[in-house]
Structure 1
Amino acid sequence: MDDKISITICGDGGCGKSSITLRIVRSAWTHDYDPTIEDSYSVTRTINGQTYSLHLTDTAGQEEYRGMWSAANLTSDAFLLVYDITNAQSLQNLDFFAELIEMEKENRQEQGRCWPAIMVAGNKCDLQGQRQVGAAEGLEWAKSRGCGFMETSAREVVNIEETFASIVKRVVEAREQHASGMRPDFPSLINPTPHNQRASAVPETQQSAPAPNITSDAEKQRYSQSESTATSPQKKKKK
């Protein structure tokens, strides 16, 4: 079994991509905002008894840096799309990254390669008083595009490990389907299912939960609690 998994983390600047990354790598959090161009880290995690080596790439979110996105970022096994629940525009801006990933999916299909796993994280869920994006809205955006979904808080350590465990399991599932000749049943990222055909989202009454942990019902049945172990990170800065 291939135990190496590459994950590209993308989203608007200031949405907490680096904070999530540093939580998973160093179990640390910082409130200082230092715009990232690109940082790379390596960690290990044990999921369902299998140890995986994760290569994480924390990418630039600022619009002026998006042209620096390298083709290598799109070759990842998985993508984590992060938005800020206190900034409604940050969810809409995920469309930019979704379009890039959709083109990559089409390329992989033509070349007979495995599709990437995709997870959406609504970050800063500890800031309930400043919320602009309801949990139901984020879930609907993700589910209509075939993505997994969780709300996270890097500051309060909510669903950080769980998010990456889910990503690993989705990658493993995609690889198994590819090996068996099955095509993953993922909707288009840029032409999602029509509104009246979408699966129902989480009721609005659940949006006020202090630590929401939201995935699809199917995902809840598939995935069990994961076991995690961290190792020292390796960081590379590109300028």
Structure 2
Amino acid sequence: MAPRSGIEAVIWDFGGVFTSSPFEAFNRLEAELGAPKDHIRRVNATNHHDNAWALFERNEIDAARFDELFLEESTALGFPIRGRDVLPKLSGELRPRMVAALKTCKQHFKVGCITNNVVSTHSPGQNEPQRAAGAMGLVMPFFDAIVESSKAGVRKPDPRIYVMMCELLGVQPQACVYLDDLGINCKPAHQLGMTAIKVVDVDQTLAELSRATGLSFDQEAPA
């Protein structure tokens, strides 16, 4: 297959795309604590522009304050969970086929990563020894540009963060494909003119990415 005309860049989210979704780990924590399923997800979605997650991912509060605010918010929604218990659940297992797809895309297009993250954990902006370890250390070197909410002071789904990436890559939104595991983050990308793909599972994602880019992706996990 030949690269699709008009596509110049493929832009990726990180967690839930290159790694398994943190929501799976959140559900396990909820089960351990006896909390309702998807309680953490509801806390994250409530007042999502200004809640504890939003403030932390824009680097407006530290981990201690996040711990306090998340406890307040989760308690208000019916079951107390401390923020410090949630943060270790952010990291997931690497998806080798998604990494292989990134490498294939990089051969034909510019590639970028937009990630909502925090400074103290789950951040590609950590020091070099930390960056060298784990999934992020394996994937981040392939990107031509990275925009982190904790450094940019803006987070998805704010349209400004997508525009920042387009400016870094030197492309128009209409020439971009965007992948994210959250529909709320795909919506502004689509509204800007990007071809947005919601990541549900690896097979579905690679099929949609193939249609969007004109590239062929190996349907088997690399050895």
- The TM-score, its normalising length taken from structure 1, stands at 0.34
- The TM-score, its normalising length taken from structure 2, stands at 0.35
Structure ranking higher in strand proportion: 1
